A and B are shown apart, each in its own frame.
Chain A
Amino acid sequence: MRRIVLLSLLWVAFLSPRPALGDDKGHWAFRPPVRPAVPTVRQGERARTAIDRFILAALEAKSLSLSPEADRATLIRRVSFDLTGLPPTPAEIDAFLADPSPDAYDRMVERYLASPHYGERWGKYWLDAAGYADSNGYFNADTDRPLAWKYRDYVVRSFNADKPYDRFVTEQLAGDELAGYAPDGDVTPAMAELLAATHFLRNAPDGTGESDGNPDEVRTDRLTVLEGTLQITMNCLLGLTIQCGRCHEHKFEPIAHQEYYALQAIFFPAYNPERWTKPNDRVVSVAGRAERTAYQRRMELIDREVKAQRDSLAAAAQRLKTSADLVKLTDDDLAKRFPAFASLREDVQKTIAVREKERPPPLEKVAAFVETDPSPPPHHVLKRGQHNAPGAEVAPGVPAAFCTSANVYRPEPKPAGRVSSGRRTAFAKWVTSPENPLFARVLVNRVWQHHFGTGLVSTPDNLGRSGAKPSHPELLDYLATEFVRGGWSVKSLHRLILASAVYRQASAPPEKAAEADPDNRLLSCYPLRRLDAESLRDAMLLVSGELDQRLGGPYVASHRTADGSVEIAPSHDGARRRSVCLQQRRTQVVTLLQLFDAPALLGPCATRTTSTVPLQSLALLNSEFPRLRARAFARRLDHEAGTDPETRLGMAFRLACGRPPAAEELAAARRFLAAQAKVYAGEKDAAERTWIDLCQMVLASNAFLYVE
């Protein structure tokens, strides 16, 4: 048995077919993108932008074309959901439909790009790809990460501010070094923002707060954090799977066993298993050095004073306990029996209360990734990935296959007196260079994916040899080079994509495409898409008029009910806030969101499945959340649409589906109202219940659940 394992390891390590390193530039994604020529197409008049010419070229090769432009109501609902994760309001729809100017569409796009909800939507995509969660994971205890939300807010703010993408990533990899953080130095609020960014490197599951067992197990738990961090970094930023390199030469990608550990060495100074800090102790106080010292002194002084008071009371009690039966008495008993003790106790309690009130407000804390070891020991290769089998020493570095002569990993010499090694600043420089073949491509592919449901490369977390082939390789490179040319502005990238005819086309599938392109990879129509879990929940709240639009702050705690489902108690202050603010506990995903494919975030998540299962229907029909929303939705119609059924139906459809009801929908609704009135005949709340029942079905209908 053991021999078989050994043989298989040997096979994987040395004998399995693997491209020679020299070949690696042969893979399209390992060469820096070059701006391609925009193709000439026969139906040039259908193109609004260069993007369309790339799309049309592929369509024309299969004798297909783009679909006609979608109507305005469809477009605003699509753009609104795409950019903010929320449906358009009736007022927004009316303004857009009534706008006769030729740039009405572009200005509508601008309005949603400027919305603070934009950052919530696109921030959440980033958080998923970065493996963000509000809990430590790893063990079943899945303990709390009370400060992680500051990273979430940092991400949301960065997207809203359209922070250049290279800067955004640099901050996450080396914000502490950018800020000049020193373990005993000042931490200003501006530095705190950069420190919060480094939580990117803290997103991996980390069970080391709970580790027990023998020293090997504890070491394994610690090294697992380092491995998880590297996996997230390479996966999220460069679209590379890296884990194979832990045990042997990577079978598919040009990453040598030794190079895997060179990458680990970049993060090793803060993740050294021999000098470990538990996850919830990796926090930094936001204060000047003097302020921090003063705070500490003040706290210690009050601790001492409070203790002295308590001691004096205890001593007095002791003096009174002169006989065996008195010894058993509590302070309460003593106070009843000895008035002098009672008054002494009252004085002591008063004094303590006064002292406690004098405590300074706690210093603001931020969970960060910082180095505290001025001379970290060398890292080692782990033979066969085994945590107790260190091999040769390894210096920090990056895989040679992704370097060019202009872009290599080169840490600056460390200035005297600085603690942090500078390894991550050098790494960030290498990652974010326009010469890096993967960095821009991965991001533009992900943005495309979230606008069209599928990326130009359908495996957004893997652009390597083992990833999917791009459907439109030149378009991907065109977008990547435009993105860099536009100063890494993600909002400009949205503008570019949303202006295209391929984005603006209708979603009804053309007859011809069913044969020639059954999966619609060539995009002869806009792909119909179900709302994702968060949009589904948030849109229900917005439609019902209940969405609590407060931004940011600590997460809204979820809990597991007696019957095992996970929810936010309806009475909770934050129960109607956006889903991005809800507690993202790895083992406790809110049931409604999980049913609609929200991930548990055990690792980074770049793509979600879109499942269609009866349990979803059960939830929409019978669970409390949609029923409560339907109730509020019906009340909203009372307030905003009066009593006329036709007006109410018009309002209901405009709120939920972004358009007035079609004739057949109106007819069905009338039939339902009549039938349901009979069911509730004679009951005093008949009308109210009828409309709640109707609103619930509108929120369960495909016209609401899908974006056309």
Chain B
Amino acid sequence: MNPIDFTLTRRAFLGRYAGGLGSLALAHLLAADAGATPADPLAPKAPRHRPGARSVICLFQHGGPSQVDLFDPKPELTRRHGQPHPGGLEVHFHTQVGKLLGSPFRFQKCGRSGVELSELLPHTAGVIDEATLVRSMVSDSVDHEAALHCIHTGKTFAGRPSWGSWVLYGLGSMRQDLPAYVVLSDPGGLPVDGTNNWSSGFLPAVYQGTPFRASGTPVANLVPPADVPADGRRNQLDFLRELNSAHLRRHPRDTELEARVGHYELAAKMQTSVPAVLDISTETEETKRLYGLDNPKTAEYGKRCLLARRLVEQGVRFVQVFLSGQPWDTHDKNAARLKDLCAMTDRPSAALVTDLKRRGLLDSTIVLWTGEFGRLPVSQGADGRDHNRHAFSLWIAGGGFRKGYVHGATDDFGYRAVTDVVRAPDLHATLLHALGLDHTRLTVRHEGRDDSLTDFGVTRADVVEGLLVAPH
């Protein structure tokens, strides 16, 4: 499979990729050009303005990575280590609040931009000149699930669509034979809150994420039953097409029926297209090493980062990479666990940025590294840190975001974001903007009103122009 040419028109795309489709399906797909197919909610749609980005990879770091140990140096915190925190604190476990806990890790200026990062992130340091680091993120909850809803859907309660679903709703799919929104979760198990992390909420179910299985066949039902040989399957599909053509003649112009007829052919094609995109044996040894596939510590997460690149390369719109459980939730042994987690994730995360850049894909791909909230500057118990919704850090590379730039700041202890505060809805507005979508116009009628990812009427969310290279 060749990388998709993003400048292809849909008609040309069909010429290239839909060669084997039945004429009915082709007619249907071409009709999508005119935007006249309510039956195909995934038909590609033009962005509202010229975007920098076409695809998204979200490297999700579950549990609440500790900003003061990774991204946000706080000399004052180190200086006053062991003293009580001078102000009030909102905590999750209120019986275990300790004293100020300085980071045991050294920070140094990195890259040409001189952004300060922890010694735990040497590889991220190598690509920081490509990234925007936001140190002033805030969440609405100190509870994991609610905070996950917040970062993924904009609000703390369940049942709203993830922002990946909104992106699909706004832009549609670039490929018919691959899911447009792919979830790569850890073979060790689903992340906390499971499928809610990629739910389409009140948007139609077609916009939800499709989890690729970590082992075995990646997509359910890709392979025909063992007792149906290839030529037998071909006969089945021919028979089915004849049955459906007869049915369609009784209901001419029904786009839903036409779509379904075409989908049987597409389903057969997916049997080869999906495994092909996931076959990493064609990658060079150098690339595999870049992602750390040669090291058991980094190999699993590295493989998912590499797959994310391959998926985006083939026109997948939105990829979410997850870890198992919520590893960054360092309620105890904060320092030791951070060391371990960074040893696992730092190299592959950075490799993804490097690899996208050298393939010319970084400008069209947003890479977002984030958790759901941050951690407190005081200790929990002997050596842990409790949840903190008032400050956390994330980074974004590519897709029209600024390079080597730090946005916002926290107070002296890293407890509270105080300058250029960014809430999840502001972040979402900005991400949609980078994809050519206007968060105030990407709405859907729900419970009697036009709802949106950012619910701007209530949240007053706004695009954070400072994060973008050239505000459109």
Tell me the smallest distance from the CB of A696 to a CB of chain B, in Å.
7
Given A139-B145, A612-B40, A613-B206, check contact A702 B224 (CB 8 Å): no
B172 within 8 A of A: no
B93 within 8 A of A: yes
Given A627-B225, A702-B247, check contact A614 B205 (CB 8 Å): no
User: Max chain A CB contacts within 10 Å: which of B176, B177, B223, B447?
Assistant: B447
A64 within 8 A of B: no
A671 within 8 A of B: yes
Q: Which residues in window 388-447 of B have CB below 8 A to A?
A: 421, 423, 445, 447
Residue of B nearest to A508 (CB): B250
- What string of 1s and 0s marks CB contacts (under 8 Å) between B7-45 and chain A? 000000000000000000000000000000001111000
B246 within 8 A of A: yes
Residue of A nearest to B210 (CB): A615
Tell me the smallest distance from the CB of B347 to a CB of chain A, in Å.
28
Q: Are A5 and B460 in contact (CB under 8 A)?
A: yes
Q: Report the Cα distance A375→B2, complex, angstroms.
A: 73
- What string of 1s and 0s marks CB contacts (under 8 Å) between B442-462 and chain A? 000101110000000111100
Q: Report the Cα distance A708→B267, complex, angstroms.
A: 26
Q: Report the Cα distance A597→B205, complex, angstroms.
A: 7
Neighbouring B residues of A514 by C-beta, 8 Å:
253
B282 within 8 A of A: no
Tell me the smallest distance from the CB of B266 to a CB of chain A, in Å.
5
Neighbouring B residues of A603 by C-beta, 8 Å:
159
Q: Report the Cα distance A44→B144, complex, angstroms.
A: 64
Q: Are B41 and A611 in contact (CB under 8 A)?
A: yes
A528 within 8 A of B: yes
Q: Are B247 and A672 in contact (CB under 8 A)?
A: no
Neighbouring A residues of B46 by C-beta, 8 Å:
none
Q: Are B457 and A618 in contact (CB under 8 A)?
A: no
Neighbouring B residues of A594 by C-beta, 8 Å:
205
A693 within 8 A of B: yes
Within 8 Å by CB of A702, from B143, B213, B257, B445, lies B257
Q: Which residues in window 576-595 of A have CB below 8 A to B?
A: 587, 591, 594
Neighbouring B residues of A253 by C-beta, 8 Å:
448
Q: Are A618 and B222 in contact (CB under 8 A)?
A: yes
Q: Report the Cα distance A396→B62, complex, angstroms.
A: 43
Tell me the smallest distance from the CB of B63 to a CB of chain A, in Å.
14
Q: Are B267 and A618 in contact (CB under 8 A)?
A: yes
Number of interface residues of A (CB under 8 A): 86
Given A611-B205, A622-B225, A672-B239, check contact A530 B459 (CB 8 Å): no
Q: Report the Cα distance A597→B256, complex, angstroms.
A: 15
Q: Are B260 and A612 in contact (CB under 8 A)?
A: yes
A102 within 8 A of B: no
Neighbouring B residues of A689 by C-beta, 8 Å:
227, 232
A676 within 8 A of B: yes
Residue of A nearest to B240 (CB): A697
Q: Are A205 and B216 in contact (CB under 8 A)?
A: no
Q: Are B460 and A4 in contact (CB under 8 A)?
A: yes
Q: Are B447 and A243 in contact (CB under 8 A)?
A: yes
Neighbouring B residues of A614 by C-beta, 8 Å:
176-177, 263, 266-267, 270
- In the complex, which range does the number of interface residues on chain B fall in? 35 or more
B121 within 8 A of A: no
Q: Report the Cα distance A689→B205, complex, angstroms.
A: 35
B110 within 8 A of A: no
Q: Are A696 and B196 in contact (CB under 8 A)?
A: no
Given A5-B460, A12-B457, A462-B447, check contact A621 B259 (CB 8 Å): no
Tell me the smallest distance from the CB of A208 to a CB of chain B, in Å.
13
Q: Are A619 and B220 in contact (CB under 8 A)?
A: yes
Q: Are A668 and B159 in contact (CB under 8 A)?
A: no
Neighbouring A residues of B252 by C-beta, 8 Å:
509
Neighbouring A residues of B458 by C-beta, 8 Å:
8-9, 12
- What string of 1s and 0s marks CB contacts (under 8 Å) between A523-546 and chain B? 000001010000000000000000
Q: Report the Cα distance A4→B460, complex, angstroms.
A: 7
Neighbouring A residues of B235 by C-beta, 8 Å:
672, 675-676, 679, 693
Neighbouring A residues of B176 by C-beta, 8 Å:
614
Q: Are B206 and A611 in contact (CB under 8 A)?
A: yes
Q: Which residues in window 211-265 of B have CB below 8 A to A?
A: 211, 213, 216-217, 219-225, 227-229, 231-233, 235-236, 238-240, 242-244, 246-248, 250-254, 256-257, 259-261, 263-264
B94 within 8 A of A: yes
Q: Report the Cα distance A703→B204, complex, angstroms.
A: 25
Q: Report the Cα distance A614→B39, complex, angstroms.
A: 12
Tell me the smallest distance from the CB of A685 to a CB of chain B, in Å.
9
Neighbouring B residues of A602 by C-beta, 8 Å:
158-159
A140 within 8 A of B: yes
A63 within 8 A of B: no
Given A563-B220, A564-B211, A615-B210, check contact A1 B421 (CB 8 Å): yes
Q: Report the Cα distance A205→B159, complex, angstroms.
A: 11
A138 within 8 A of B: yes
A665 within 8 A of B: yes
Q: Which residues in window 482-541 of A have CB below 8 A to B?
A: 507-509, 514, 528, 530
Q: Which residues in window 194-251 of A have CB below 8 A to B?
A: 205, 213-215, 217, 224, 241, 243, 251
Q: Are A612 and B39 in contact (CB under 8 A)?
A: yes
B468 within 8 A of A: no
A680 within 8 A of B: yes
Neighbouring A residues of B457 by C-beta, 8 Å:
8, 12
Q: Are B239 and A702 in contact (CB under 8 A)?
A: no
**Interface-facing stretch out of B48-56, B187-195, B299-307, B311-319:** B187-195
Q: Are A140 and B145 in contact (CB under 8 A)?
A: yes
B337 within 8 A of A: no
Tell me the smallest distance from the CB of B148 to a CB of chain A, in Å.
9
Within 8 Å by CB of A700, from B205, B264, B268, B460, lies B264
- What string of 1s and 0s marks CB contacts (under 8 Å) between A422-450 and chain B? 00000000000000000000000000000
Q: Are A621 and B448 in contact (CB under 8 A)?
A: no
Q: A252-B449, A622-B221 are in contact. List 18 more A-B contacts (CB 8 A).
A: A7-B460, A8-B460, A140-B196, A205-B158, A459-B445, A528-B254, A587-B194, A587-B195, A594-B205, A618-B219, A619-B220, A622-B222, A627-B225, A668-B239, A672-B239, A697-B240, A702-B247, A703-B247
Q: Which residue numbers of A lie inside 8 Å of B, CB to CB?
A: 1, 4-5, 7-9, 12, 137-140, 205, 213-215, 217, 224, 241, 243, 251-253, 459, 461-462, 464-467, 507-509, 514, 528, 530, 562-565, 587, 591, 594, 597, 600, 602-603, 609-619, 621-624, 627, 662, 664-665, 668-669, 671-672, 675-676, 679-680, 689, 693-694, 696-698, 700-703, 705-706, 708
The 7 sampled A-B contact pairs (Cβ below 8 Å) are A213-B142, A615-B179, A615-B220, A622-B223, A689-B232, A694-B239, A697-B243
The 7 closest A-B pairs by CB, nearest first: A466-B448, A668-B242, A672-B239, A617-B267, A622-B221, A617-B263, A609-B204
